[in-house]
């Protein structure tokens, strides 16, 4: 009977009596793959193209690393995919530059859904073999002085020193989704002279089907999605 391969890491599983003379090599390769999965690190440039991570049968491959650092200045929206039907945990660091061009960076399975990574975030993600889900996110900050569409868990520093700014909330949010806002203009803020408008993007805000206009200097607050009726509500407000 020929070797088979484990479901998730694709380690080679030898049967009794086969692979004469190569058992040691195969075992060493399996150990290298286990090392990748437990402590492996790889830096991946996603600037110019989407990336399909591989989890190959019986071989060291980029998708088996635990820690993935995504780099580069994005030239378009980018997607990183992992194979379907493989259950894995990943630590993903967004080290890309995309604060000026507002492109998105998505981490997902080939056929399922995934996570739009917050700018400059570090995330613990897990694939259940169908979709990629988020477990823990260490958020980064994005500074904007122009139109911007937020992703879930964004922390947005908004500078309205020159003119009013509109930041649009994520579309189709799930309950518990959060976006954080901070007045970053001048010493005491500028939301009073140049307002921040928060676009509702199809969801209610504070129970109303209207955009939220923020006109208090120095405002800092978090919106959390509560329900279809209530929509986005304040979690905290300064």
Q: Looking at the 3D structure of the chain, how many domains does it have? A: 2
Task: Assess whether pLDDT exceeds 70 at residue 101.
Answer: no
Confidence at 118, pLDDT banded by 50, 70, 90:
confident
| Residue 193 pLDDT | 96
Same domain, 31 and 76: yes
> If we measure between CA atoms, which residue out of 78, 45, 61 comes closest to residue 8?
61
Sign for the CA dihedral angle at 202, 155, 100, 183 comes to: positive
Given the DSSP bridges, would you call strands 114-116 and 105-109 parallel, antiparallel or unpaired? antiparallel
Is residue 23 domain-shared with residue 106, that is, in the same domain?
yes
When pLDDT is cut at 50, 70 and 90, the band that residue 147 belongs to is: very high
Q: What is the pLDDT of residue 1?
A: 62
Residue 78 structural domain: 1-140
Q: Are residues 213 and 129 in the same domain?
A: no
């Amino acid at each position: 009977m020929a070797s088979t391969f484990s479901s998730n890491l694709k380690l080679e599983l030898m049967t009794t009596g086969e692979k004469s003379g190569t058992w040691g090599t195969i075992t060493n390769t399996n150990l290298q793959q286990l090392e990748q999965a437990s402590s492996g690190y790889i830096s991946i440039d996603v600037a110019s193209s989407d990336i399909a991570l591989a989890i190959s049968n019986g071989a060291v491959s980029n998708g088996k690393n635990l820690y993935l650092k995504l780099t580069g200045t994005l030239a378009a929206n980018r997607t990183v995919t992992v194979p379907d039907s493989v259950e894995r945990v990943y630590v993903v660091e967004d080290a890309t530059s995309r604060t000026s061009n507002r492109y998105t960076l998505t981490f997902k399975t080939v056929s399922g859904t995934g996570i739009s990574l917050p700018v400059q975030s570090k995330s613990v993600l897990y694939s259940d073999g169908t979709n990629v889900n988020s477990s823990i996110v260490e958020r980064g900050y994005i500074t904007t002085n122009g139109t911007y569409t937020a992703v879930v868990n964004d922390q947005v520093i908004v500078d309205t020193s020159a003119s009013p700014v509109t930041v649009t909330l994520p579309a189709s949010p799930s309950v518990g989704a959060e976006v954080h806002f901070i007045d970053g203009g001048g010493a005491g803020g500028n939301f009073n002279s140049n307002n921040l408008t928060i676009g509702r993007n199809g969801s209610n805000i504070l129970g109303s089907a209207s955009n939220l206009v923020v006109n208090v200097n120095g405002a800092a607050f978090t919106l959390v999605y509560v329900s279809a009726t209530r929509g986005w509500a304040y979690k905290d407000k300064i």
